[in-house]
Amino acid sequence: MTKQVDPITLDLIENALLNARFEMDSVVVRVALSPVIREQHDEFPMICNPDGQMVVGQFGSYIPAIVEQYKDNIHEDDIFVWNDPYACKGSISHNNDWCVMMPIFHEGVHVGFSSIFGHMVDVGGKVPGSMPADAYSIWEEGLRVPPVKIYEKGKLNDAVLQIMLNNSRTPDMNRADLMALVAGCRTAAKRVREICDRFGRDTYLSACDLLMDRTREAMRVLITNYIPEEPVTFTDYVDDDGVGNGPFKIHLSIYRRGDVAVIDWTGTDDQAEGPINFHIHEGLCKLFFGVYMIMAFDPKIMFNEGFYDLFEIILPEGSLLNPRFPAALSNRLNTHTRFFDCQAGALGQRAPHLSMAAGYGTSPHFIYTGKDKNGKYFQLMELLFGGVPGRPRGDGLDGHAWWPLFSATPIEYIENYYPVLVESYRPVRDAGGAGLHRGGAGIEKVYRVLEAGSISIHDDREVVPPWGINGGLHGGTSSKWLVRAGSDEPERIKSKLDNLKVEPGDKIIFITAGSGGWGDPLDRPVEKVLRDVNDGLVSQEKAEADYGVVISDDMVIDTAATTALRAQMKTTRGEPAPFDFGFIPGVHQAAE
């Protein structure tokens, strides 16, 4: 029976849990060794109730599947680890993500779980970094660990640890990062026990239930207000799968049946031969939709799993979003982020004033490996960012991550620990789609390698541009270039490749995609257009062609010419289209 909890106590417990969740982040980044977790924060913590439902955090849904496997064989000070997507029903979506879970007990009574997963820089497989661009099965993507106990009643299972580290090219980094995840979970467990000591265990458990109920009721209101009973559909595309196939269609239909939102991915293309399949857990799909709706429509609502019964998910088996084993999964983020774009495109049709355009479209990575002058193996992995889309509140963000807490690896860190120089790092001019609110620009990063080695890169939206919305225009696409030492001629290389040999002095130019604009660019204040031109984000030519703003060579707006041009452009164009998809090669109809 749920105990009554007064509003002030509920607020105190809520914020104590949120603080514990952020303390988990803080502990992890202090203990971790790899740049991906230590510098870029590619780790996702959560705190759950005794049923394994996320009360605070970012990614939920996976604890019940692990509990189901172990049933009564879960004890105080046990800590579990796993990374196999197929063994946990897709809650971890590729082998690089190692997940740690710890049951939390208070005075011998089970009161919840803490859990974190983080991206390991290498887990074996056919290429350094374990994310081969040309994998045809998960067998090529590194070690797969089913849910096992890394600690049993507080005692380290060294055999499991050694097996995991023995299959990595970067065992020292992996060990440090794994122990960082363990430390984060232990920190959360300590804080939850303190909350139980302070307020009482029954009060804490009742507060968790009430926080879930409150989020459920808030989500019910959002679903009623923003999801129609008639289906709304949207289609977007992934460029290719890395082995020569594509584009791949992702199709979404959303409608409401009473209080329940039906999310139907029927019409999405069959699973790919290459590694862009996204084996998404049904609960995780619910969480992504709930989080999107909260961020778009009412950011004050707390993230948790209380709203899960308000969503019905249809994921056709054998599709890009529900592939059959042993489909390759390592580069699933192309599909994952297009999943978000489809959400925005569908939900934005009912509430265009709260919608946003499409972003840079994946989580681009750059991997550089070799041996330094002392013969020591090195492996640099960096996640790059791009344009975050235009939105109702203003312009998109330039060179920013999709994930709110991610940050760029400091150039000083890269140059201090790896034989590489970063010669430039800047936004790409004209990459942000024109709009009343401009889309965020992609970035251009130039690496000059100092030792012989090999590089692997992965990116998307090289072919299919990020679309604009509410009259906004599509953003710029990505590209990759290699300039050999002693040459000034850049050679274009694929957006998905592995083991490209490089020599000292070679340069890699990594350009990520921008994002779509929001709203009519002919309504954008002219002083903002001039500011973007002065900042190098928009060219004078694009200012005139897309925004109708005439700027002289000495950077002065020609007011009369601008007024006349904008009037002419509006007359010629008529009402702006709700979406601007740009040109998509091989696709005859870009949206339905």
Please report, rounded to a whole number, the percentage of residues in the chain having pLDDT higher than 70.
Answer: 98
Evaluate if residue 567 carries a pLDDT over 90. yes
Task: Say which residue, 281 or 148, is predicted with more confidence.
Answer: 148
SS (H, E, C) 407-464: CCCCHHHHHHHCCEEEEEEEECCCCECCCCECCCCCEEEEEEECCCEEEEEECCCCCC
Residues 57, 46 contacting (CB under 8 angstroms): yes
Q: Which amino acid would we find at residue 7?
A: P
Of the ranges 24-33, 125-134, 363-372, 395-404, which one carries the lowest mean pLDDT score?
Answer: 395-404
User: pLDDT tens-digit profile of 69-90?
Assistant: 898 899 999 999 999 999 887 7
Q: What share of the chain is helix, strand, coil (3-state, %, to 5)?
A: 35, 25, 45
Q: How confident is the model at residue 109 (pLDDT cuts 50, 70, 90)?
A: very high
If you average pLDDT over residues 224-248, what whole number do you get?
95
If you average pLDDT over residues 54-67, what whole number do you get?
85
Contacts of 326 (CB under 8 A, 6+ apart): 86, 137, 138, 139
Evaluate if residue 2 carries a pLDDT over 70. no
Closest CA relative to residue 144, chosen from 180, 92, 101: 92
